[in-house]
Amino acid sequence: MPDVIKSIDGDEINISNTGIFYNNDNLKAKDLACKIKCLLDEKGVKSSILTTDNYKKDVTFAIVLGGDGTILKTARYYAKCSVPILGINLGRLGFLSQAKSEQANDAVSYVLSGTFKIEDRLMLSALNGKMNALNDIVIKGDSFSRTSRLYVHINDNIVCDYLADGIIISTPTGSTAYTLSAGGPILAPKLDAIVIVPICPHTMNARPIVIPSSEIIKVTSSQNKPLLKISADGQKTYNLGLNEEIEIKKSPYNAKLLLLNIEKNSFYTVLKEKLHWGLSWKG
């Protein structure tokens, strides 16, 4: 088996050091990781089984076993290294994954035969690059009992004054996650755009806004109000100082998601099958 595999569309992956990642708390994932490694060994592909607490920088291709949270965590780590990621779903929804656990062997075979494509996904950056997100960056007050007054500036122009439980700044990839639950629009993942969505705003004229990804977003809070918390993909959280300005912009890095080049894995098909989008209720 060659180290570099090229797809029909010309995308390439380097499988010379494949990492099979799983969450250490998921015994089912560990068993599946062992089965995938055996398959790769039979094909002459060098691979190693790693947990999501033990990422290694020399990995050239990542197979991630778990739910969307496991994929998001791995994507954030390997975006700077331009490592393609194949997700195999062991969670509930698995919107970012390409196969179910029982389809794992077929998925690996598709990859080794070049039946795939690689899609670059826009990411967000905040706190001077200390925080990166593939889905979204969420800003909330640190008190559950209070709303926050948040001022949103776009390219140094004040645009919105939200009295709300918080605010979501989302990528197209994240538009089917927390953003959707908060009333935001769904964006096709190839769009080069950012969505800003208030969480439970205390006014009827506060609506989501979609802007080009080249815009610079700054969020501030009113003086002498409770401190804020900022989180990336609902996983990595920081506490912010009083009156601290938060700048969010397009990350210089893209997540590279490997998509199996089969019709049922198109974005619109997944949208319908996993979110039941556009299906009428049958009483």
Which amino acids are annotated catalytic?
A: 68
Cα distances (angstroms) measured from residue 152 to each of 9, 51, 194, 221, 245: 41, 38, 14, 9, 10
Distance CA 233, CA 192 (A): 19
Do residues 185 and 175 touch, judged by C-beta distance below 8 A?
Answer: yes
Partner residues linked to 162 by β-bridges: 150
